[in-house]
Amino acid sequence: MLHTIIENRFAVTAVILFVTGFVNMMVHPNLIKKVVAFNIMDSATFLMLASRGMIAGRTAAILTDGGADVTRYVNPIPAGLVLTGIVVSVSVSAFSLALIQRIYGAYGTVDMRELLEAMKKKGE
């Protein structure tokens, strides 16, 4: 058991990070901390993808010998996927932070609980 965990150490770390972010995103009442938790989940995904792409004894797919020896390089697809993921994560974080700034401007709080009460008061 321990042996398999150590063999897959990056995948296990990624899972733990992902669930940490998930719990925080669901439970934490602070909206900004929710965005931080979302970013932690993103990082876990990138770690998982990057670690899956690694093969022992091979280097990143930047051809230094003109592509003569194909078995020297790892798969370029996980790197491309991580790139896509980073861009989307940055965009989503920026958008949600802007929304939170507007919410703070309108209600004066970023706490979910206080926000519900403030919204109710405003509704009445």
Query: Residues in the site for another protein, rule: CB under 8 A?
Result: 4-5, 7-12, 14-16, 18-19, 22-23, 26-27, 51-56, 59-64, 66-67, 70, 73-80, 83-84, 86-88, 90-92, 94-95, 97-99, 101-102, 113, 116, 120
Distance between CA atoms of 103 and 48, rounded to whole angstroms?
34
Q: Smallest distance from the beta carbon of 99 to another protein, in angstroms?
A: 6
Q: Smallest distance from the beta carbon of 11 to another protein, in angstroms?
A: 4
Residue with token string 């405003």? 122
Strand partners, 85: none
Is 64 or 122 the residue whose CB approaches another protein more closely? 64
Q: Smallest distance from the beta carbon of 47 to another protein, in angstroms?
A: 11
Is 79 or 118 the residue whose CB approaches another protein more closely? 79
Sign of the four-CA dihedral 72, 74, 80, 85:
negative
Q: Smallest distance from the beta carbon of 70 to another protein, in angstroms?
A: 5
Distance between CA atoms of 109 and 122, rounded to whole angstroms?
14
Is 22 or 107 the residue whose CB approaches another protein more closely? 22
Is 30 or 78 the residue whose CB approaches another protein more closely? 78
Tokens coding 27: 């439970």
Q: Are 10 and 48 in contact (CB under 8 A)?
A: yes
In the chain, the largest separation of any two C-alpha atoms, in whole Å, equals: 73
